[in-house]
Amino acid sequence: MTTSFEWSLPRGSIISGKWKQGSYRVERPLGEGANGKVFLVERAKYYYALKLGSDAVDLQSEVNVLQSIYKQKQKRGASAGQGLFLVDVDDYRAADGKEYPFYVMRYIKGKTLSDYLQAQGKEWFPVVLYNLLGKLAELHEAGWSFGDLKIENILVADYGRPELVDYGGATAFGKGVRQFTEIYDRGYWNAGDRIADARYDLFSFAVLCLQLQEGRRLAQLSSGLLPQTRTPDELAKLAATSSALKPLSGWLRKALYGEFASAREAAASWQQWMHKAGAPSKASAPAPRWLKGLFAVSAAILATTIYLLLRTGP
């Protein structure tokens, strides 16, 4: 897909907000989606990701999603700054005289999901995907489906902490999914409609697991079937015959057939599988690398919590 405008901004360009007068210096492009381009920008020695588009309605929808997630986190007891992803929203008057809406996000320094697993080892697959289910649960509890869940829209930071990026496909529950990629889409596999709900994302999540572990076989399966013969059962069979995914095949089948009521329920089931898989058969058996990773994540969260308490203490 292409964006609705084709020009780019060279390094050093200044994007100034029309209403709030925030100024951001462009460092480099980060990527683009169906409705805009994302740039790494700098302001007061801090780096951010700025998304610039041509359709104010499209970008406002993404802003609404991010604001909803933040409000939901506050309801759950998060502090004022915790989980704050959205930094600024404004309009930019370009050199061509036109005005373009933009919003500024916290910059996530990480790798794509596939690159992270390739660098760290696929032993990290369970813990990263478990954390991703938590991100989806936060989004769903705010009333939104991510929609276009795929490898390219997930970045992973240290300790296997994933972040969803490019909210252009995020859709309010009950409405038609705004953007999707066919191979991850349950409609493509005749597994349901394209109405946004938690089960839509969980279906895509299951296909994402197949893509990560059996990408070549998944592509062959997709291209080798007629549209009317594509079914979730074909995907379930692929999982059951995969050496990497066979232990998870029961969980994947439930996700493919929409049997999880929510991402929280799916995450709890995934966690149960992790504990079973991580239990050594002998007392002297070493813990798997991903289990060590889960411990590292927990330790990092604990350290952050202690730091925040000390900052806000008397």
Instruction: Report yes or no: 164 and 116 within 8 Å, Cβ to Cβ.
Output: no
pLDDT (average), residues 116-129: 93
DSSP string, 188-255: TTTSS-SB-SHHHHHHHHHHHHHHHHHHHHHHHHHHHS-GGG--HHHHHHHHHT-TTTGGGHHHHHHH
pTM, rounded to two decimals: 0.81
CATH top class, domain 111-278? mainly alpha
Domain ranges of the chain: 13-106, 111-278
* CB-based contacts of 162, cutoff 8 Å, min separation 6: 113, 128, 131, 132, 135, 154, 155, 156
Check residue 66 and give its pLDDT. Answer: 86
List pLDDT tens digits, range 174-195: 999 999 999 999 999 999 999 9
| 51 annotated among ligand-binding-site residues | yes
Q: Which of 148, 166, 185, 201 is catalytic?
A: 148
- Structure token pair of residue 12: 């050093």
Mean per-residue pLDDT of the chain = 85
List pLDDT tens digits, range 38-74: 999 999 999 999 999 878 888 888 898 888 888 877 7
- Structure token pair of residue 90: 């404004």
Q: How far, in whole angstroms, is CA 174 from its chain's centroid?
A: 20
- Give catalytic status of residue 148 as yes or no: yes
Strands 111-112 and 154-157: antiparallel
13-106: CATH topology: Phosphorylase Kinase; domain 1 (3.30.200)
Segment holding 50, helix H or strand E: strand 46-52
pLDDT (average), residues 119-131: 94
- Residue 186 and residue 235: Cα distance in Å, rounded? 11
Check residue 312 and give its pLDDT. Answer: 42
List pLDDT tens digits, range 231-256: 999 999 999 999 999 999 999 999 99
